[in-house]
Chain A
Amino acid sequence: MGWVSRRRVLPALPALTLAVLLVPLGAGLIGTLGPAFGWMPGLAGAQPGLDAFRALLAWPGLPRAVTLSLSTGLAATALSLAIVALVTAAWGGTRVFAALRRLLSPLLSVPHAAAAFGLAFLIAPSGWLMRLASAWATGLERPPDVLIVQDPLGLTLIAGLVVKEVPFLLLMTIAALGQADATRAQTVAQTLGYGRTTGWLKAVFPRVYAQIRLPVYVVLAFSMTVVDVAIILGPNTPPTLSVQILRWMTDPDLSLRLQAAAGAVLQLALVLAALALWRLVEIATARLGRAWVLRGARARLGEPALRGLSVLPAGAAAATVLLGIAILALWSVAGLWSFPKALPDQLSLRSWMRHGPELAEIAARTVTIAGLATLASLILALGCLEAEHRDGLTLRRTGLWLLYLPLLIPQVAFLPGVQTAMLLLGLDGGLFAVTAAHVIFVFPYVFLSLGDPFRAWDTRYATIACTLGARANRVLWRVRLPMLLAPVLTASAVGVAVSVGQYLPTLLVGGGRVPTLTTEAVALASGGDRRAIGVFALAQTAAALVPFALALILPRLLYRNRRGLLHD
């Protein structure tokens, strides 16, 4: 009986999941294309046609904004990938690497906005590093008038993106290493006389890259279109295209809404073009790489220097985020703290007490949304993976691409359309709608995070359990999930962190009625009250980090007497 109904529900799950992700995406894109071509009911003076694109092209900042979007996105992605590849090549499998991994993995969950604030508080001319320098070296009494944060080339924006994308790509690479049989390949290369780094780059990297290609594309699409980080760290004269789109979208002159939609379409096209360009560079690099491999050069001379250098940027990324959070914490308890003092004149809990009651309520809502969105994503992901296991229904090929679509398509390109669509369906506002919107972005990460450990699980355990008389559900609940407790909890923590960090979906779908830590922090950002920003950014970070801590600690507590499950 139960067996029959299960067979009906489970095989339908992969299709249902894709619908959950892609229907809003499609509706949202239509909702953006419409206004871009002049279709917007309720707006006086909107006429079908290309007026919006003409207005967009007439904006004098367009060339620069487009260039910025491309240059910051491509540079941040290339830098992050290079740092990750080099540090993995030079240090993979060593204790230093393990330490770096342990340091970087919690940083993955630090919300982008919080990391950006931390970076700004560190490197601004009146930031903490300059204060330290004043105290001991420069003796400056006032901050130098130099343009660091929000520089016109977007260098700080690139740095802010790199410190957050390096942990992401590194963890993706580590996951891929297992499948690429990296350790043995590197050893074989070394026995053939190749240096550690060269050997890894030649023998392992191509296979690893094939595995992390989609995450790299996600990083590229994200870096090109990010809004909150670009507002905090990016230039303003003009800003990146996505920030300018948001400005038009929120301009009191309603006709700019059409121009914003046209900009969103352009942004989408830019992302696709950048992805195509990246793909071409991939192909070219592969050719050059093959020639490099064929030459057989062993090139061991530069190895020690390369090893030393490679660990610096990765370490700096970790240090920046950690130090930034520490400075956020310090600002949240600072009384008067004027330049050039390296520490506040007095410490005070006033900011926390002032925001305390409001903070508690908002944090509770944030955690509720994150918990529900993660639970829903977890159920869908486990259902898909279990369907894959039981019925061979796999999301692997085209499905995997579809899964990545919500991460590859710029949020500014489809969320306004989602908002309109939800209104039309009467699903507007409220916790439920926001949670549903979060699932679109949470699910891919949960699924990807869960997929590898789930598939790597030795299915002979399932066979054994079956031959012992256990049905598929009993195998799932009593054997597979308990054994995979650690990855399930980690995937949940990833899900919570992703949900906590969502800004645009919360704001647009919730109609502003569902404030979370992130929307509050970004709203405060426009006010520049560093103490309040410190309080909210810290709370935001905690909401994302605590689940990670639990995901680490809980399996160790529950399985403290089960050595077989504690090997990592």
Chain B
Amino acid sequence: MTRLATLGLAALLPLAATAQTDPADWDAVLEAADGQTVYWNAWGGSTTTNAFIAWVGDRVAEEYGVTLEHVKLSETADAVSRVLSEKAAGEDDDGAIDLIWINGKNFAAMKENDLLFGPFAESLPNWALVDQTKPVSVDFTIPTDGYESPWAAAQVVFMYDTADLAEPLPDMAAILDWAQANPGRFTYPQPPDFLGSTFLKQALYGVIDNPDVLLEPVNDADYDAVTAPLWDYIDALTPHLWREGRAYPQTGPRQIQLMADDEIDLAISFSPGEASTAIANFQLPDTVRTFVPEGGSIGNASFVAIPYNSGSKEGAMVVADFLLSPEAQARALDPQNLGYGTVLNVSALPAEERALFENIDLGIATLGPDELGPALPEPHPSWMARIEEDWVARYGVAAD
């Protein structure tokens, strides 16, 4: 008990989250990284992502002598709690995690609890190639401050099966009309699943007049007024959902499986290329296409962050930098591999590297950059927390 208490106290002391090597001295970083093993904790629920991470591992091993191990998570939050337990136990120098695929709530939680190393992102050599007009410096309205490095851009699209639903639906009202006319053919992942919550936010954007209020922390005074149209919308929609809203798919890929089984005809996705990739992998029929609602859809970026207690920070930075290389970005963009949007400013790249991107066949279901429409910013996370809580109370525990 004494020992527990001592360690507990130690964990409460402020910790200096400094690297062994200064991120700005990139040659020194490369030297230190050679021979390090980096445990990258990333969601393991998608076979295509797993294959991409394995490829990254091969490449950084060849190029920089960094061994990359993919620790497959079913929930990114597992990694957060891991770092927290390590901090509680006083493991401050060589934690189990060196790199985390992260964004949104998980990033906010780690940053708030001083669990991250940095700033490092803007010292990466490939940062110069990043398109600053994309949401790469703000994550759910939280400034990244260099504590996480972007590696993929995402934007909400809806996937629809043209075998059952001929034309794209222009807005949220049209989605409701269609769902009422075709009961049981639409659903969304169950909030607080990330994608399900995104659907709620997208719906919120579609039903409120002044979306600017969403960029500020939630205000108790007008929360009810702001979200009332959303709950009206969801109340109207729910009885016409798949299984009458008494059950929901737990994740995005589960939703894709439902579409493949022809249980649903319409589904939300946070990756414009996901449908094409799924078609290439037999996971969706080739009649699936995508659309974005008029007025745009929510866009954000996926990041990687380094825990304060990683023992291989240099190796982790090298991986983060490699993820920003045109080679890795082009590979991720190819729907044969991932179909993830790039965070680079492609038009500013040298011709040879630009060709890597221009030669990619985006696939039959992927919208071109001009068709995607504007990317709407993520609301402040406090909105999401309240909306999720509300959703759970209204629909998440109400089965009968």
Contacts and interface: CB of A to CB of B under 8 A. Distances in A.
B386 interface: no
A255 B13 CA distance: 19
Given A60-B397, A424-B7, A513-B71, A125 B263 contact: yes
B10 to A, nearest CB: 8
A145 B242 contact: yes
Interface residues of B, number: 81
Contact of A42 (B11, B243, B393): B11
B89 A235 contact: no
A355 B281 CA distance: 14
B398 interface: yes
Contact of B106 (A44, A252, A335, A420): A252
A249 B264 CA distance: 31
Interface stretch (A5-13, A297-305, A386-394, A519-527): A519-527
Interface stretch (A91-99, A146-154, A491-499): A146-154
A524 B45 contact: yes
A419 interface: yes
B73 A512 contact: yes
A251 B41 CA distance: 16
B4 interface: yes
Contacts of B395: 237
Contacts of B392: 60-61
B72 interface: yes
B161 to A, nearest CB: 11
Nearest to A65: B397
Contact of B72 (A145, A251, A520): A520
Interface in A32-77: 40-44, 59-61, 64-65
Interface stretch (A182-190, A440-448, A528-536, A547-555): A528-536
A528 B195 CA distance: 15
Contacts, number: 202
A355 B385 CA distance: 37
A252 B76 contact: yes
B89 A236 contact: no
Among B89, B248, B255, which residue has the most Cβ atoms of chain A within 10 A? Answer: B89
Contact of B251 (A354, A428, A526): A526
B257 interface: yes
A40 B393 contact: no
Give the size category of A's interface with B. Answer: 35 or more
A238 B247 CA distance: 9
Interface of A is mostly: loop
A64 B399 contact: yes
A527 B43 CA distance: 10
A250 interface: yes
Interface in A119-159: 125-126, 141-143, 145-147, 150-152
B256 A236 contact: no
Given A142-B263, A257-B84, A529 B257 contact: yes
A511 interface: yes
B197 to A, nearest CB: 12
Contact of A252 (B77, B88, B184): B77
Interface in B1-39: 3-4, 7-9, 11-12, 39
Given A61-B396, A126-B262, A250-B81, A336 B282 contact: yes
A249 B77 CA distance: 8
B229 interface: no
A252 B381 CA distance: 12
Contact of A527 (B106, B253, B393): B253
Given A41-B11, A152-B246, A512 B45 contact: no
Contact of B249 (A151, A334, A528): A528
A527 B7 contact: no
Nearest to B71: A512
Contacts of A257: 81, 84
Given A41-B11, A513-B39, A237 B399 contact: yes
A527 B247 contact: no
5 contacts: A145-B243, A235-B247, A250-B75, A428-B89, A529-B253
Interface of A: 40-44, 59-61, 64-65, 125-126, 141-143, 145-147, 150-152, 231, 235-238, 249-254, 257, 334-339, 354-355, 358, 419-420, 423-424, 428-429, 507, 511-513, 515, 519-520, 522-532
When A and B form their complex, which 5 residue pairs have the shortest distance between CB atoms, in order from nearest? A41-B8, A527-B45, A61-B397, A145-B184, A152-B399
Given A354-B51, A524-B44, 9 more contacts: A143-B261, A145-B263, A423-B86, A424-B4, A507-B78, A513-B96, A515-B72, A523-B45, A528-B256
